[in-house]
Amino acid sequence: MLVVPLLFRLPWFRRFDGYSAWQTILLREPPEHAGDGLVCHELCHVWQMQHRPLRMPLSYLRFGYERNPYELEARRAVEASRTLPAAADAHLDEPPGRDAGEHVVARLPRPDEEDEGAAAHER
């Protein structure tokens, strides 16, 4: 994922805030400003291009942008991600105060909640 604001001044890119090219996501702003929704949308495009490396990019020639089935799928992915418990907990309208790694760790049981962990500490 690259933050390249100058790229988005070019005529073709001006209308986008994010752009995916196979395994690369280009963003106008850092992810914490761009928002989880845009990052999710672009990650969906990366996943689409992993599975349809030619058909997906060429679909824009056939369907255009707004009604492109891959665009619609990426928008649905963003909407679906908003209903996930972890996403709902993360206050998506605000920049996250913690990264995803911390968020995952926070959901794991504490060592004193695990029987095996407690037993290991007693040795």
The tokens describing 78, both together, are: 């963003």
To Zn ion, the closest distance from the beta carbon of 45 in angstroms equals 5
Torsion of CA 41, 42, 48, 51, to 10 degrees: -140
- 16 burial via Cβ count (<10 Å: 0-12, 13-18, 19+): middle
Among 38, 74, 77, 78, binds Zn ion (CB under 5 A): 74
SS3 27: strand
Q: Are 96 and 32 in contact (CB under 8 A)?
A: yes
Span from 49-57, 63-71, 86-94, 112-120 in contact with Zn ion (CB under 5 A): 63-71
Helix (H/G/I), strand (E/B), else coil: 41:
helix
* Nearest-approach distance from CB 7 to Zn ion, in angstroms: 16
Nearest approach, Cβ of residue 50 and Zn ion (Å): 15
Q: Quick one: 12 or 110, whose CB is closer to Zn ion?
A: 12
**Which region, judged by CB under 5 A, interacts with Zn ion, from 3-11, 52-60, 65-73, 91-99?**
65-73
Q: How far is the CB of 71 from Zn ion (least distance, A)?
A: 5
Instruction: Give the footprint of Zn ion on this chain (CB under 5 A).
Output: 71, 74
